[in-house]
Every structure is written in C-alpha cells, then in structure tokens.
Amino acid sequence: MKVYANRKIAVAGIRAKPGERAQGYAQVGELQDHQPARIPIAIVNGARPGPTLYLQAASDGDELNGVAVIHRVLRMLRPETLRGAVIAVPLVNVHAFHAHRSHSPADGKKMNRCFPGNRHGSTSDRVAFFLFHNAVLQADLCIDLHQGGVNPMIDECRVRVNMKDRAGPASFELGRVFGIGYIFHQRGPDGQLARAAPAAGIPTIDPELGGTRGWDAVSIRKGVRGVMNVLQHYGFIAGKPKIPRRQVVVRRFKTVYATRGGFLALHARLYSVVRRGDLLAEIHDPFGAVVERVCAPADGVVWTYPPYPMLASGQTVATIGTPIRYV
Ligand SMILES: [Zn+2]
C-alpha cells in the first residue's frame, strides 16, 4: 500500500495547498489575434493525504458530455472531506471547441493522437505537451472523458493498453471500477492519452459517454457515477461504489456496411446482444419497399448506429462489439 504525504499541488500558476481549492486559466500559447490561448484548470486538494486523479474532457472539441461530468464532480467535491487531490481540465481542446469541431482548426489534428506532446510541434502537440508534463505526470490515475462524437453510440469505457503493457492490468481494473457496464479493451493508436500515460506508469481509461450533439442527460449521469465509483473505490471519498456484478468486455469492432442505398429501418437497438445472422436493419427504397436485409456478421453487442436514417451503398449501418466476454 502506497503511503502518501500531504503536498501542495500546482499546475502552471494555479496552486492549492492541502485543504484548498484553486481554479484558473493556464496559458498554452496565443490565438491568431495575439491574445492568450488559455485552458481552464481546477485543483481540489484534500485536507488528508492520498492519491491524485487527473480528469480531462473535450480533448475532441465537440465531445461535451465530459464537460458536464466535470462540472458536477467539481460541485460535489469538498477539500475538507477529500483524501488526495483531483486535477480537472474541463476543456482541453479550446481551439476545436470554439469551432464546434472534433479536430483543432489550427493544425487539423486530433488531440488524442498528440500525447505525450511536443513542445516544438504544431498547436495540438504543444497543448498536449503542456497538459502531460504539467498535470498528467502528477497523477496516480487518469480519466480522459470522450464520447462517440455526435453519432449514436452506447455508453462504454475504453482501455487502450494490453495486459502485458506497463500499467495494463491497473488500467483494466480502473475501467472495471468505472463500472459503466461495457468495456472496449484493445491497444489504441500511438498518441492517445490512454496509451501515453500508462507508458509513464499511470493507469488510464478513456470512457466514451454515448454520442450526441450537445449534452445527453443519461450519458452524463453515467459518467458522473463512473467518476464517483473511482473516487470511492480508490479511497478519495467515503461511500460504496456501484459497480455492476457483470460487465461486457469486447476486443474489436465489426463494421457492417450497406450494399444498397436508401432508408434505414432499425430492428436491433443499441446495447442489443445479437447472434450472427440476426436481423439488424432493413433498407427501404423511397416508396417504402424493402431492398436489403442487413444481418449481424458476428455474435456481439450493437455498439453504434449512424446519425441519420438514410445511407448510400458502402456506408456504415452499425458497429458490432465482439466477441463478448464478461468480467
Ligand atoms: Zn473523443
């Protein structure tokens, strides 16, 4: 059992002693009008010693559910009753956020391919470098809140390192404790925070809180529950986590494409467990006649659907998470 000491936490110029809360903006560069580009950062430093959790949202600038999760978590946390500390960055990708886009318009990059960052790189690399070296490396646990962009997706949690990787088993355990019920366990691409932080020994998860434009109340509630589960399980706050007895784990996705074009009538809902050959959807012509029956290519869970009920040939009808294992 690791022994922690009470310590002052500082990120750039934002400082909180044990028992204090601090928030402010850290400058990460300049905008094109020469004004500072700033990222909001909050620190809740508990009166009692304990581990440090790093929490971030909106690494993809249009993924807003995590922002609302951080708002609620910050309202609930009290330095007097907290063990350890929480460093929260509610809006990572400010450039993309202002543009209502996932990728930064400044360099066209996806922030979650830029970690651990590069101080001499392009705009997103520099922001990633700043956060990784000033905040993430102070943490014992890391949660990077995402969602499936603006397309419908189940609420799930991704573990992006394998069991053999550094912090692999601890990252998977963090995902189990988050307790959202569905885990996608597959090593992710280079540059993900959920790869870079475990490589530095920090267990990390990438919860995917549904997919919507703006805010989705159900996904936000599940995200808050997940963060509270982590805070309770690892001893930051009192209370018993609500972790499901059985959670689905899948290791890959099968993409199901339409052969014909037309309108999509769904037969299996998101979260449905389907068997290979089960009917997923029908495609209708503009007169309403069935022109194709689309079936599940494997046993699995219906993970995503497209945002609109119409498709061209070769567009994605659904994604199936497979094979199903339980933990
Ligand atoms: Zn994302």
Q: How far is CA 254 from the centre of its chain?
A: 21
C-alpha torsion sign, points 76, 203, 68, 307: negative
CA of 150 to the centre of ligand 1 (A): 10
CA of 111 to the centre of ligand 1 (A): 9
CA of 93 to the centre of ligand 1 (A): 11
Per-residue pLDDT tens listing for the chain (327 residues): 678 988 999 999 999 999 999 999 999 999 999 999 999 999 999 999 999 999 999 999 999 999 999 999 999 999 999 999 999 999 999 999 999 999 999 999 999 999 999 999 999 999 999 999 999 999 999 999 999 998 999 999 999 999 999 999 999 999 999 999 999 999 999 999 999 999 999 999 999 999 999 999 999 999 999 999 999 999 999 999 999 999 999 999 999 999 999 999 999 999 999 999 999 999 999 999 999 999 999 999 999 999 999 999 999 999 999 999 999
- pLDDT tens for each residue of 180-224: 999 999 999 999 999 999 999 999 999 999 999 999 999 999 999
CA of 108 to the centre of ligand 1 (A): 15
Cα separation, 213 vs 272, in Å, equals 23
CA of 97 to the centre of ligand 1 (A): 12
CA of 22 to the centre of ligand 1 (A): 27
Give whole-number Cα distances, 277 to 107, 232, 280, 281, in Å.
43, 42, 9, 11
Q: Is the peptide bond before 323 cis (omega within 30 degrees of 0)?
A: yes
Contact indicator for 60, 110 with CB cutoff of 8 Å: yes
| Residue in 175, 115, 167, 163 with CA at minimum distance from that of residue 140 | 167
The enclosing H or E element of 87 equals strand 83-89
CA of 274 to the centre of ligand 1 (A): 26
CA of 115 to the centre of ligand 1 (A): 14
CA of 212 to the centre of ligand 1 (A): 12
CA of 91 to the centre of ligand 1 (A): 12
CA of 49 to the centre of ligand 1 (A): 32
Give whole-number Cα distances, 4 to 50, 85, 236, in Å.
5, 11, 12
- Residue 193 neighbours by CB distance under 10 Å: 32
Does the pTM of the predicted model rise above 0.95?
Answer: yes
CA of 4 to the centre of ligand 1 (A): 32
| Residue in 262, 322, 264, 261 with CA at minimum distance from that of residue 296 | 322
CA of 209 to the centre of ligand 1 (A): 9
Q: Which domains does the chain have, with CATH numbers?
A: 9-233 (3.40.630.10), 251-326 (2.40.50.100)
CA of 146 to the centre of ligand 1 (A): 4
CA of 251 to the centre of ligand 1 (A): 18
CA of 45 to the centre of ligand 1 (A): 28
CA of 153 to the centre of ligand 1 (A): 12
